[in-house]
């Protein structure tokens, strides 16, 4: 009574097809990959009714001879790998030999192909997996593949298809993914006969990106200079601080040209953006990773969307460093967002974006910089920091401390070390056209814009009138940012100035918190908190950071320890990064309901704009939000929407 049966081939293909081709966009993925593998210079994608009625891909690649054309419809027929060893290092998009038979088994399928040198090509028709016809084909060299009536013979699958618009949106997104990674290939996309995308071939990646996302966004991208760390090469373009999206759609990442998603990459991005990215937001990236194909496995996901890195840590590290390095460099340019090229002499007056998506994430002007990860390198990343990533501002010398103490109202252009902060690009420019010493891109704090303070809302939001409309400052978040940068500058130059307590505070802690404090003692000391063991689970605190104004040091310390310990439960080691500790110390140092006087608000605003990254607090939340006059006008019906 055998129950197990070998499935007839056609049925097996249909089952397999469900995994490979779950929707029209998946066909596009597989077929475009095939065309790219075949060396096509021009790829056309035509869709009807979201791709459900028809997807047709036309390429000018190598084409196939008749034998291969027949063979490619057999399951596991592939020209791309031969041995098990090949599977360990895949250089092509395809390798399973699954796509074509799968697609052919669930559609009315037509393949027409011709090699360049062949007199005549081959046309094959397959209907729901059944071979219907093979004939000569007289078309141009290259390959045309057409799949009509997707899932016509698998109603269960068809039910999962969404509306035509949704399906087409996926098709378009899929094509964009490939188009970005392959600027040297021209792409055309039509829907129901109408041209949707036309991307001519170009050598310039940014040009290709611009063709898809438009001038405005493209002009604000930052170039990630190609760098290799531990065998991981990273390059591409990324959005600057404040440029983010609420979903991952614009977070595109590629591994050896293949669009992929990976937790290691996402972590790396997050780490690299650090506080430049608001919680819950995703960066805009077009990031390319190149690695030895032996160093990862693509054969883990049916749609080949995910990969498994043998050493995810180094990938994460390389990305994080590239991103933070890029953000740092950009921050030193007067133009802020301009891809590191021409540097106008005038300091930028930053434009506040009007686009609705970004009204809560203001752009960052010249002087703002993302935070460097100043945490002591954990054991696993103790590899020597490669030259390009040397902390850019570390040699800002001891005058930093003085700067903290003194007013930072003067847009400090310290003539003694202009090269310290000037990006390499700026220097090159200078060689060509020597300029007056004032211009070179020194990370000078920006002048606060002309804001007129109107009042305070809920003891928290400072309302201000700006050129563009209403501006709100979250005074709590602003304070945190200001304190945080003070902290960090001081740490960079050797330690935070501290105030000695009249009476040392003794703290009784749990054993776990005691371990936590011991692990982080050195960092705490550097932050101006002189703490030392004073018995089992007891600590003595002698000093606190100088800027801290508190009448209850013990309560403040309790709060800090509590936050540290809640943070440490989320991380695998008890040792926390110095940034994290600084962030917590800052948060604890700000009282939210402080009523500020107008001069205090003005001072805060000035301090905020003296920060390297004024537009968000160390947790990435915005410090300033603008509601533009035009938006108000729309809301009050004084202006047509749009
Ligand atoms: P895979 O891409 O995994 O090899 P496919 O089923 O997608 O499997 O394709 C099977 C084979 O058909 C490929 O290995 C390739 O040799 C050939 N092929 C598919 N599409 C094209 C194309 N557009 N141009 C030339 N050859 C193609
Ligand atoms: Mg393929």
Ligand nearest to the Cα of 35, by number? 1
Q: Does the residue 360 lie in any domain?
A: no
Nearest ligand 1 atom to alpha carbon 143: 23
Nearest ligand 1 atom to alpha carbon 98: 6
User: Going by CA atoms, what residue is nearest to atom 14 of ligand 1?
Assistant: 78
**Domains in the chain, number:** 4
CA distance 214 to 206: 11
Ligand nearest to the Cα of 56, by number? 1
CA distance 478 to 491: 20
Burial of residue 447, with CB atoms counted within 10 A of its CB: 0-12 exposed, 13-18 middle, 19 or more buried? middle
Confidence of residue 340 (pLDDT cuts 50, 70, 90): very low
pLDDT at residue 10, as a whole number: 63
Q: Is the pLDDT of residue 210 over 70?
A: yes
Summary mean pLDDT of the chain: 76
Ligand nearest to the Cα of 16, by number? 1
Nearest ligand 1 atom to alpha carbon 77: 10
Token representation of residue 404 = 């903290």
Nearest ligand 1 atom to alpha carbon 95: 3
User: Going by CA atoms, what residue is nearest to atom 20 of ligand 1?
Assistant: 34
Ligand 1 mutation target, pool 100, 258, 303, most atoms within 8 A of CB: 100
Q: Is the pLDDT of residue 397 over 70?
A: no
CA 144 to ligand 2 center in whole angstroms: 14
| CATH number of the domain residue 455 falls in | 3.30.1540.20
User: Going by CA atoms, what residue is nearest to atom 21 of ligand 1?
Assistant: 34
Nearest ligand 1 atom to alpha carbon 145: 23
Ligand 1 mutation target, pool 17, 34, 79, 302, most atoms within 8 A of CB: 34
The winner for highest mean pLDDT among 354-363, 371-380, 415-424, 585-594 is 585-594
Q: Does the residue 302 lie in any domain?
A: yes
Ligand 1 mutation target, pool 29, 37, 102, most atoms within 8 A of CB: 37
Same domain for 478 and 623: yes
Same domain for 213 and 286: yes
Same domain for 190 and 117: yes
Same domain for 64 and 172: yes
CA distance 487 to 533: 24
A 10 A CB-CB count for 433 gives 6
Q: Which residues are CB-contacts of 258 (< 8 A; sequence separation ≥ 6)?
A: 93, 181, 298, 304
Least confident of 19-28, 160-169, 364-373, 472-481: 364-373
User: Going by CA atoms, what residue is nearest to atom 2 of ligand 1?
Assistant: 94
CA 208 to ligand 1 center in whole angstroms: 26
* Domain final residue pick, 147, 180, 199: 199
Span 95-110, pLDDT tens digits: 667 889 999 999 999 9
Contact 585, 564 (CB under 8 A): no
Q: Does the residue 520 lie in any domain?
A: yes
User: Going by CA atoms, what residue is nearest to atom 9 of ligand 1?
Assistant: 97
Span 542-555, pLDDT tens digits: 998 887 777 788 88
Strand boundaries in 62-120, DSSP class E? 108-114
* Domain final residue pick, 346, 367, 383: 346
CA 27 to ligand 2 center in whole angstroms: 10
Q: Report, as an integer, the average pLDDT of 425-451.
A: 43
Q: Does the residue 381 lie in any domain?
A: no
CA 189 to ligand 2 center in whole angstroms: 20
Nearest ligand 1 atom to alpha carbon 92: 2
pLDDT at residue 421, as a whole number: 34
CA 409 to ligand 2 center in whole angstroms: 61
A 10 A CB-CB count for 376 gives 12
Contact 498, 527 (CB under 8 A): no
CA 34 to ligand 2 center in whole angstroms: 5
Q: Is the pLDDT of residue 113 over 50?
A: yes
Ligand nearest to the Cα of 101, by number? 1
Same domain for 225 and 76: no
User: Going by CA atoms, what residue is nearest to atom 25 of ligand 1?
Assistant: 63
Q: Report, as an integer, the average pLDDT of 487-496.
A: 75
pLDDT at residue 321, as a whole number: 93
* Domain final residue pick, 199, 217, 250: 199
Same domain for 601 and 571: no
Does this model's pTM top 0.85? My answer is no
CA 94 to ligand 2 center in whole angstroms: 4
Q: Cβ < 6 Å from ligand 1: which residues?
A: 30, 34-35, 38, 59, 61-64, 72, 77-80, 94-100, 143
Q: How many residues are present in the chain?
A: 642
Q: Does the residue 2 lie in any domain?
A: no
Same domain for 192 and 267: no
Instruction: For residue 633, report the phi and psi dihedrals to the nearest 5 degrees.
Output: -60, -40
| CATH number of the domain residue 544 falls in | 3.30.1370.100
Which among 473, 288, 487, 247 has a CA at the least distance from the CA of 372?
487
pLDDT at residue 127, as a whole number: 94
Beta bridge partners of 194: 191
| CATH number of the domain residue 140 falls in | 3.30.565.10
CA distance 505 to 499: 13
Q: Is the pLDDT of residue 319 over 50?
A: yes
CA distance 98 to 440: 57
| CATH number of the domain residue 321 falls in | 3.30.230.10
Same domain for 100 and 187: yes
Burial of residue 302, with CB atoms counted within 10 A of its CB: 0-12 exposed, 13-18 middle, 19 or more buried? middle
CA distance 614 to 637: 33
Range of the domain at 238: 205-346
Same domain for 237 and 176: no
Same domain for 254 and 130: no
Residue/partner pairs of 402-408 with CB below 8 Å, 24 or more apart:
403/489, 404/486, 404/489, 404/490, 404/497, 405/497, 408/445, 408/606, 408/607, 408/610
Q: Does the residue 174 lie in any domain?
A: yes
Q: Does the residue 386 lie in any domain?
A: no
Same domain for 317 and 339: yes
Same domain for 170 and 67: yes
Q: Does the residue 321 lie in any domain?
A: yes
> Which of 4 and 377 is assigned the larger pLDDT?
4
Ligand nearest to the Cα of 298, by number? 1
């Amino acid at each position: 009574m055998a129950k197990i049966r070998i499935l007839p081939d056609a049925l097996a293909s249909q089952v397999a097809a469900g995994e490979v081709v779950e929707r029209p966009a998946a066909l596009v993925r597989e077929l475009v990959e095939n065309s790219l593998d075949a060396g096509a210079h021009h790829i056309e994608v035509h869709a009807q009714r979201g791709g459900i009625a028809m997807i047709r891909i036309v390429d000018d690649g190598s084409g196939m001879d008749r034998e291969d054309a027949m063979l490619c419809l057999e399951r596991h027929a592939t020209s791309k790998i031969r041995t098990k060893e090949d599977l360990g290092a895949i250089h092509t998009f395809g390798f399973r030999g699954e796509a074509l038979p799968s697609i052919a088994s669930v559609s009315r399928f037509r393949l027409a192909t011709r090699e360049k040198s062949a007199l005549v090509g081959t046309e094959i028709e397959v209907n729901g997996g059944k071979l219907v016809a093979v004939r000569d084909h007289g078309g141009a060299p290259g390959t045309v593949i057409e799949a009509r009536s997707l899932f016509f013979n698998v109603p269960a699958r068809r039910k999962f298809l969404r509306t035509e618009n949704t399906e087409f949106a996926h098709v378009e997104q899929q094509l964009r993914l490939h188009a970005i990674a392959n600027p040297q290939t021209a792409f055309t996309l039509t829907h129901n006969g109408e041209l949707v995308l036309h991307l001519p071939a170009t050598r310039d990646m940014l040009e290709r990106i611009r063709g898809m996302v438009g001038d405005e966004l493209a002009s604000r991208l930052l170039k990630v200079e190609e760098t290799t760390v531990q065998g991981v090469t990273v390059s591409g373009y990324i959005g600057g601080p404040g440029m983010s999206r609420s979903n991952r759609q614009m977070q595109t990442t590629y591994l050896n040209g293949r669009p992929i998603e990976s937790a290691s990459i996402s972590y790396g991005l997050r780490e690299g953006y650090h506080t430049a990215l608001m919680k819950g937001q995703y960066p805009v990236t077009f990031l390319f990773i190149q690695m030895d194909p032996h160093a990862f496995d693509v054969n883990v996901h049916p749609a080949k969307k995910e990969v498994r890195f043998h050493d995810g840590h180094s990938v994460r590290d390389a990305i994080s460093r590239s991103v933070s390095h890029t953000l740092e460099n950009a921050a030193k340019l007067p133009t802020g967002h301009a891809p590191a090229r021409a540097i106008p002499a005038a300091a930028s007056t930053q434009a506040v974006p009007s686009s609705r998506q970004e009204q809560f994430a203001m752009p960052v002007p010249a002087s703002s910089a993302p935070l460097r990860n100043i945490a002591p390198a954990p054991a696993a990343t103790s590899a020597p920091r490669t030259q390009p990533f040397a902390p850019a501002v570390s040699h800002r010398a001891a005058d930093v401390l003085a700067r903290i103490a003194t007013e930072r109202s003067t847009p400090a252009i310290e003539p003694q070390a202009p090269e310290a902060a000037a990006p390499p690009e700026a220097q090159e420019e200078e060689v060509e056209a020597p300029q007056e010493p004032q211009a070179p891109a020194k990370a000078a704090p920006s002048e606060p814009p002309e804001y007129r303070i109107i009042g305070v809302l809920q003891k928290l939001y400072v309302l201000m009138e700006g050129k563009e409309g209403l501006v709100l400052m979250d005074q709590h978040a602003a304070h945190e940012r200001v304190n945080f940068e003070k902290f960090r500058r001081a740490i960079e130059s050797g330690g935070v100035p501290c105030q000695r307590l009249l009476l040392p505070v003794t703290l009784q802690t749990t054993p776990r918190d005691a371990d936590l404090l011991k692990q982080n003692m050195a960092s705490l000391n550097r932050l101006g908190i002189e703490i030392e063991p004073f018995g089992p689970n007891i600590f003595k605190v002698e000093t606190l950071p100088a800027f801290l104004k508190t009448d209850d040091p013990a309560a403040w310390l309790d709060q800090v320890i509590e936050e540290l310990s809640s943070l440490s439960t989320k991380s695998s080691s008890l040792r926390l990064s110095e940034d994290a500790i600084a962030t917590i110390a800052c948060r604890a140092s700000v009282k939210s309901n402080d009523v500020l006087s107008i001069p205090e608000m003005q001072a805060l605003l000035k301090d905020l704009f003296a920060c390297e990254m004024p537009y968000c607090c160390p947790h990435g939340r915005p410090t300033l939000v603008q509601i533009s006059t035009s938006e108000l006008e729309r809301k009050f019906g004084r202006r047509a929407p749009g």
